[in-house]
Amino acid sequence: MDSSDKWEIIHIPEKPALSPDHQPTVKVYASLIKPKFANTIVRHLCKIAPLEDLRHVKRVKKKILPDRGETQLTVILCLAPERHDHLNDSIPPDVQKLVDPYELSPFITEVCKYAAVSKEEWEEQSKIWPTSFHPPTYNIDGIGGFSEEDTQSICKFMRVVIDMAVSGHKPLVNAAVIVDPSVRRIIASETDQVYASSGDNTSTETSPYKETGDICLNDTLEKQNGSLSAVACLNLWNWSLQPHDTENCSLWHPLRHASMVAIESSSARDRHLFPNSSEIFGQDHVQPSNMDSPAKKQKTSSQGPDVQIDSGEETLRNPSMERPYLCTGYDIFLLLEPCTMCAMALVHQRIKRIFYAFPNPTAGGLGSVHRLQGEKSLNHHYAVFRVLLPDDALRQLATV
């Protein structure tokens, strides 16, 4: 990666970026049709051969023949097998029945398998067969670019993450900062709590970065062999290598990855601020675990005067304020891409945007291994961004 003194924020889309002219395709049967039959045929086909997974593909292709000024219509009849020996053998009987009455002559052609995610992709796709293009329907700030003010705010919270990831931790751990972007305040900030004592973790596991040779990784971290061995989302099983510590076992847990602890802390804050709304969510009254603990105070005071921590005092003064539903509308900032468990927890929490600095080649849930932001079966989708750090931030990480 080129060194730079600039911050750069990159949107990680819901499907892998493909070169516009290398779109995966699927085979379909198509046929020229007479315009007078078009409505009837399309109505029939929508019933007997709906193209459920190809909603972005237009059923009818229209072409004006330049010499005669006539309109030529071609319709997609149905999916075709990827391999075929005899052209018309695999046309379903229902579709086959339309061939004679409507004078069809089926042939096999290709259409793009996935909906275009950019105008450039869409233009290339339409050269093969027309598709429709809908820019992302979710209205999330930043997908179309960030304002200078937003960029500064994002950098500021990423600096908090870096400070937390390096401070007092040897080796490095992951840090998570949940922010309410509407008021630019920190709701919760936590680090991995997977080890009894992060200072004693002397695991010599090789960093997964070395093994994968991911070109996105910066040399600074790569040279620190093993320096990432304590990052929970990256090394899902390293916790099992630590000596069993019965005295301190309440301070750590294999699943206490930074995002999970931050979510817990955010929930504790909610319960503290809205003690009477527990019936709504079916939760018990539980005292916040560490809202006022000395450790928490120490952590918040080390974050500099320009970062505001939401203590919730305003909310306490204004009892009419409604309890937010989990983390709806909030952003989370992380040093490393979360693992699938953490990424799924952030779906459940209704997080709006995720920002991370480094990909997670072993277990990443947001593009490296899985891509939850593009998982259609989920009922919530966040926007994901990678933040490329400037040199001084990288140097700070390298000092660990």
**Residues lying near Zn ion in the complex (CB under 5 A):** 233, 257, 339, 342
Of 234 and 394, nearer to Zn ion (C-beta) is 234
> Shortest gap between Cβ of 259 and Zn ion (angstroms)?
6
Of 29 and 382, nearer to Zn ion (C-beta) is 382
Of 54 and 233, nearer to Zn ion (C-beta) is 233
Instruction: Name the token pair of 150.
Output: 């937003």
CB-count burial class (<10 Å; 0-12, 13-18, 19+) for 329? middle
| Residue type at 7 in one-letter notation | W
Length of the chain (residues): 400
DSSP for 195-261, please give it: SS-GGG----PPPHHHHHT-TTS-HHHHHSTTTTTT-TTT-TTGGGGSPP-STTGGG--TT--HHHH
Which residues share a beta bridge with 63? 72
Of 324 and 364, nearer to Zn ion (C-beta) is 364
- C-alpha 264/C-alpha 275 separation (Å) is 16
Of 48 and 236, nearer to Zn ion (C-beta) is 236
Residues 129, 111: contact at Cβ < 8 Å? yes
Of 54 and 262, nearer to Zn ion (C-beta) is 262
Nearest partner of 61 among 20, 110, 98, judged by Cα = 110
> Shortest gap between Cβ of 338 and Zn ion (angstroms)?
5
CA angle (320 as vertex; 316, 324 as ends), nearest 5: 80
Strand bridging mode 8-12 / 308-309:
unpaired
Of 233 and 309, nearer to Zn ion (C-beta) is 233
Continuous H helices in the chain: 38-48, 93-99, 119-128, 148-166, 208-212, 219-223, 258-273, 278-281, 294-301, 313-317, 340-348, 391-398
- C-alpha 182/C-alpha 180 separation (Å) is 6
SS3 content of the chain, % helix, strand, coil (to 5): 30, 20, 50
Of 95 and 342, nearer to Zn ion (C-beta) is 342
Of 257 and 381, nearer to Zn ion (C-beta) is 257
